[in-house]
Amino acid sequence: ASDVSASDPVRYRDLPTGPPAPTGDPLIDEVRAIKYELSARFDHDVERLGAHLKAVQEDIAQREPQRIIRQPRQER
């Protein structure tokens, strides 16, 4: 959990100002463009994106339990 509130302007100072600049490597450029587009769908808000991905994961778990990838148990 972050100690910075969602309304804190400092939190948003590093938001992308536009699509990433080309690197010269087509694969890297394509991955970065897709990442930027996905982030933009959620207004570059990591918490909104995370909530969406969690909902998708839960939906898949209910509809297709055989697709669940279980994480190894954490040692204490």
Residue pair 47/6 in contact (Cβ under 8 Å)? The answer is yes
Please give the average per-residue pLDDT across 5-15, as a whole number: 55
Full-model pTM:
0.55
Report angle CA 20, 10, 50 to the nearest 5 degrees.
Answer: 60
Q: What is the pLDDT confidence band of residue 28, given thresholds at 50, 70 and 90?
A: very high
Alpha-carbon distances, residue 63 vs 4, 48, 56, 60, 69 (angstroms):
36, 23, 11, 5, 14
